[in-house]
Amino acid sequence: MDNSEQLFSNLVREHKSTIYTVCYMFSKDNDEVADLFQEILIKLWKGFQSFEGRSDIKTWVYRVSLNTCISLDRKKKRRKKSDSLAMDINLYDDNDSDTRQVKQLYERINRLGVFDRAIILLWLEGIPYDEIADIVGISTKNVSVKLYRIREQLKNMK
């Protein structure tokens, strides 16, 4: 394994949870999440050599991950929907109060627009406003305004 492959491997290992978090914001289907993850890895690999370090590496990983998921989400919506096979049981069903609240929050978040979903995801991850601004390409002040509106929208959803 040459040096760039080793560096990339370390990058993936270090930021794997970040990438998965973004993937799970765009899909709950494990196969689709795996496809999104793989597509993001391809994009990261293609851009790895040209990454100049003008931003933090985590910011770059978030930006590539979000842009990839947003693009694929748009393509998916343009395609005709097909019926999927469904299992009658959920092996991972957890019915405690905390789990239900988290599920309800993510169901509401999934009803938001793609851009708003990306912003709230980054905020939930504890990313500072200025980094969110860099990742999504808006001003820090605009991040604060959008987050206020998104939180209000989430509160008012039923």
Angle between helix axes 140-156 and 97-110 (nearest 10 degrees) is 120
CB 13: neighbour CB atoms within 10 A?
8
Q: Are 48 and 6 in contact (CB under 8 A)?
A: no
If 0-12 CB within 10 Å is exposed, 13-18 middle and 19+ buried, where does residue 66 land?
Answer: buried
User: Is pLDDT above 70 for 104?
Assistant: yes
Query: What share of the chain in percent tops pLDDT 70?
Result: 86
pLDDT of residue 26: 85
Helices (H), the chain: 3-26, 30-48, 57-78, 97-110, 114-124, 129-136, 140-156
User: Is pLDDT above 70 for 83?
Assistant: no
Query: What share of the chain in percent tops pLDDT 90?
Result: 35
pLDDT of residue 91: 46
pLDDT of residue 103: 78
pLDDT of residue 71: 87
Q: How far apart are the first and last CA of the chain?
A: 52
Q: How far apart are CA 12 and CA 18, in angstroms?
A: 10
Q: Could you tell me which residue, 70 or 1, shows the higher pLDDT?
A: 70
The distance of Cα 59 from the centroid of its chain, to the nearest Å, equals 12
The average pLDDT across 29-55 equals 89
